[in-house]
Amino acid sequence: MTLRQLRQIASDLGVSLYSRKSKEELVEAISTRQVEEGEGRSLERIEAEMAPAPRPAAETRVVFLPRDPQWAYVFWDISEDDRSDALHAGASQLCLRVADVTGLAGGSSHPHTLQEVVVDSHATEWYLPVPLSDRDYRVELGYRKGGGGGWISLAF
């Protein structure tokens, strides 16, 4: 069960200070309260009766966080619709593109600064080497097309 689900059950049972308890403390407090009140339903039974926790639909996005002058941390989400559309369009490799955009406007980049890093198709995070410190970079998440080449941009 999620922490939120456990807190709801604890609230329904009148467990004090439930919002400050860890997951393990909540399970113990709920079990104790159920024994005190003689309630026959265990947490396992309550969980089996509950609908699964809702999972928000992923929105395709990429986030670039400088870690230090030499490295950056990049993480992303890809919606199932975008992933499916890209695969139907011939996507073969998931990649991150890094371009130096220091002092430029309108999405342009300095010539010869584009670096492309192939990442695992199931990954959702990656560490990237930063080419030069004290520069502005744009990171783009996308797929390289198989066969004749090409690029399918997802987010930047």
Residues 97 and 32 occupy one common structural domain: no
Residues 19 and 76 occupy one common structural domain: no
Q: Which of the four pLDDT bands, split at 50, 70 and 90, describes residue 55?
A: low
What is the residue whose two structure tokens read 């456990």?
6
Whole domain around residue 136: which residue ranges? 61-155
Q: Which residue has the higher pLDDT, 122 or 77?
A: 77
> In the predicted model, is pLDDT for residue 56 greater than 70?
no
The answer to whether residue 20 sits within a structural domain is yes
Q: Which residue has the higher pLDDT, 118 or 104?
A: 118
Residues 92 and 118 occupy one common structural domain: yes
From the list 128, 114, 136, the residue with the least C-alpha distance to 71 is: 128
b (16+ CB within 10 A) / e for 92-105: bebbbbbbbbeeee
Residues 116 and 69 occupy one common structural domain: yes
Predicted TM-score (pTM) of this structure: 0.61
What is the average pLDDT across 144-149? 81
Residue 95: what are its φ and ψ, rounded to 5°?
A: -140, 155
Domain count, the chain: 2
Quick one: pLDDT at residue 154?
A: 94
> In the predicted model, is pLDDT for residue 21 greater than 80?
yes
The answer to whether residue 80 sits within a structural domain is yes
The answer to whether residue 54 sits within a structural domain is no
